[in-house]
C-alpha cells in the first residue's frame, strides 16, 4: 500500500469520493502505460488511473498524457451505447487521471484464457460488443469531432506497431508503410484502440471493456484485428486449439453485426492489420512478453510475414492459423 499522490487525493476529495482522513491506495498490475490504483472510497472501492508520459517498456516510447481525457470520453460514449460494456466514470482528476467504479468478482479475460478457461461464446460476446460501438458511431460527424486523436493514435499504435517494424525490415517496409498510411486516412467509426484480453473483464452480463486511452475516430477493422491478434498469439504460446476457435467465434460474431459498410472490405482490412500486428508483437516496440520461446516466435513470424505479403480476409486468416511449425 502506498500513500496517494497529493493532487490525486485533492481531486478525489473535491469530487466527494473520499473523506478528510488518510487515503491509501493499492497498486494494480497490468498495463505499461498508466499508474493504476484501487482506492477505498466512501461509497466502496474505486479504481484510479493516470497515464504515464514514458511507457514502461525497454524501448524509448513517449505518448501524450492527454490520452486520459480521450479514454474518459470513450468510456462515456460506450456506456451510452450499452451501460454493461464499461465501468462508470465517477470523476476526472488532475494529470489527466480519472476515477471509475471498481467491479468486484470480475476476472480479467487474459487470466481466464491463461488458466485454460476458454469460452468461445464469451469471445463471440466480445465481438458483438466491439461491433455495437462501431455500429452506433459509424459515419457520425459528432463522434469524429469528439475524437481528433490522430497524433496520439500514431504515437501509441501506428509508429510502435507498424512503422517501427518497417524501419527495420526493408522487404516489408513498403507494405507496412502503405498500411500505416491507409490506417491513418480511414475515418469510419469510433475505435477503442486496445481491445486486448488484459483490458476486458468477464462479468455476469458479458465483457466489460477497459483502457481506451488509444481511442480515435478511425478504422473499426483495427479493433477487430487487435483482439484477434492476441487470441492467435496465445494459441501458439499455449498450444491450445480452443484459442483459435475463440478467434473464429469473435470474428464471426463481429461480422454478423456489420451494417455500416461492406463486410468484405472491412474483413480484408482487418486481415492485413492482423498480419502486421502479429509480426509487431514479435518485432515491434511492444513484443508480447509471454512469447519467449524462439520456436513460438518462429511460428508467428513466418506466418505473419507470409500474410503481409499475401493478405487474406481475417476470417480466412483465423481459419488456417497454425499453432506449431508442423
Residue 129: partners with Cβ closer than 8 Å, 6 or more residues away: 82, 85, 206, 207, 209
Q: Which residues of 284-317 are buried (b: 16+ CB within 10 A; e: fewer)?
A: bbbbbeebeeeebbebbbebbbebbeebbbbbeb
Longest dimension (CA), the chain: 63
What pTM does this model have?
A: 0.89
> Is the confidence at residue 1, as pLDDT, over 60?
no
Which is higher by pLDDT, 22 or 159?
A: 159
pLDDT in tens, 54-95: 555 445 555 555 556 788 899 999 999 999 999 998 887 756
Q: Is the pLDDT of residue 33 over 60?
A: yes
Antiparallel, parallel or unpaired: β 24-27 and 2-3: antiparallel
CATH of 109-319, one of 2.40.40.20, 3.90.1200.10, 3.40.980.10, 3.90.226.10: 3.90.1200.10
> In this structure, what is the dihedral angle of CA atoms 207, 213, 217, 219, given to the nearest 10 degrees?
-60
CB 273 within 8 A of CB 222: yes
> Dihedral through CA 106, CA 110, CA 111, CA 117, nearest 10?
90
Output helix, strand, coil percentages for the chain, rounded to the nearest 5.
Answer: 50, 15, 35
With a cut of 60, say whether residue 291 has pLDDT above it. yes
Please state which CATH number belongs to domain 2-101: 3.30.200.20
With cell 504515437, the residue in question is 155
Q: What is the pLDDT of residues 170-209, one digit of tens each?
A: 999 999 999 999 999 999 999 999 999 999 999 999 999 9
In 147-218, alpha helices (H)? 150-153, 164-167, 173-185
Contact 94, 8 (CB under 8 A): yes
Q: Domains of the chain: which residue ranges?
A: 2-101, 109-319
Average pLDDT for residues 268-280, to the nearest whole number?
A: 98
Domains 2-101 and 109-319 share a fold: no
> Could you tell me if 129 and 206 are in contact, meaning their C-beta atoms sit under 8 angstroms apart?
yes
Amino acid at each position: 500500500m502506498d500513500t496517494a499522490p497529493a493532487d490525486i487525493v485533492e481531486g478525489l476529495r473535491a469530487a466527494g469520493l473520499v473523506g478528510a482522513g488518510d487515503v491509501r491506495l493499492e497498486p494494480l498490475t497490468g498495463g505499461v502505460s498508466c499508474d493504476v490504483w484501487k482506492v477505498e472510497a466512501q461509497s466502496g472501492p474505486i479504481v484510479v488511473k493516470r497515464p504515464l508520459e514514458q511507457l514502461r517498456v525497454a524501448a524509448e516510447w513517449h505518448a501524450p498524457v492527454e490520452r486520459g481525457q480521450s479514454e474518459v470520453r470513450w468510456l462515456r460514449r460506450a456506456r451510452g451505447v450499452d451501460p454493461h460494456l464499461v465501468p462508470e466514470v465517477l470523476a476526472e482528476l488532475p494529470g489527466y487521471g480519472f476515477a471509475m467504479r471498481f467491479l468486484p468478482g470480475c476476472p480479467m479475460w487474459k487470466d481466464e484464457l491463461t488458466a485454460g478457461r476458454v469460452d468461445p461464446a464469451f469471445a463471440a460476446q466480445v465481438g458483438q460488443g466491439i461491433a455495437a460501438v462501431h455500429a452506433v458511431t459509424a459515419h457520425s460527424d459528432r463522434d469524429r469531432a469528439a475524437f481528433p486523436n490522430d497524433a496520439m493514435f500514431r504515437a501509441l499504435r501506428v509508429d510502435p506497431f507498424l512503422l517501427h517494424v518497417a524501419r527495420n525490415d526493408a522487404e516489408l517496409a513498403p507494405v507496412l508503410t502503405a498500411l500505416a498510411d491507409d490506417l491513418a486516412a480511414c475515418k469510419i467509426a469510433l475505435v477503442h484502440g486496445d481491445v486486448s484480453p488484459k483490458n476486458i473483464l468477464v462479468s455476469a452480463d458479458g465483457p466489460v471493456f477497459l483502457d481506451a486511452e488509444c481511442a480515435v475516430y478511425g478504422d473499426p477493422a483495427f479493433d477487430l484485428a487487435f483482439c484477434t491478434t492476441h487470441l492467435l498469439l496465445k494459441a501458439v504460446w499455449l498450444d491450445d486449439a480452443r484459442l483459435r476457435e475463440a478467434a473464429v467465434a469473435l470474428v464471426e460474431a463481429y461480422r454478423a453485426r456489420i451494417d455500416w459498410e461492406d463486410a468484405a472490405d472491412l474483413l480484408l482490412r482487418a486481415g492485413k492489420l492482423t498480419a502486421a500486428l502479429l509480426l509487431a508483437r514479435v518485432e515491434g516496440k511492444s513484443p508480447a512478453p509471454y512469447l519467449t520461446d524462439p520456436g513460438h516466435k518462429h511460428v508467428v513470424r513466418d506466418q505473419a510475414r507470409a500474410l503481409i505479403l499475401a493478405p487474406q480476409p481475417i476470417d480466412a486468416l483465423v481459419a488456417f492459423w497454425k499453432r506449431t511449425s508442423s
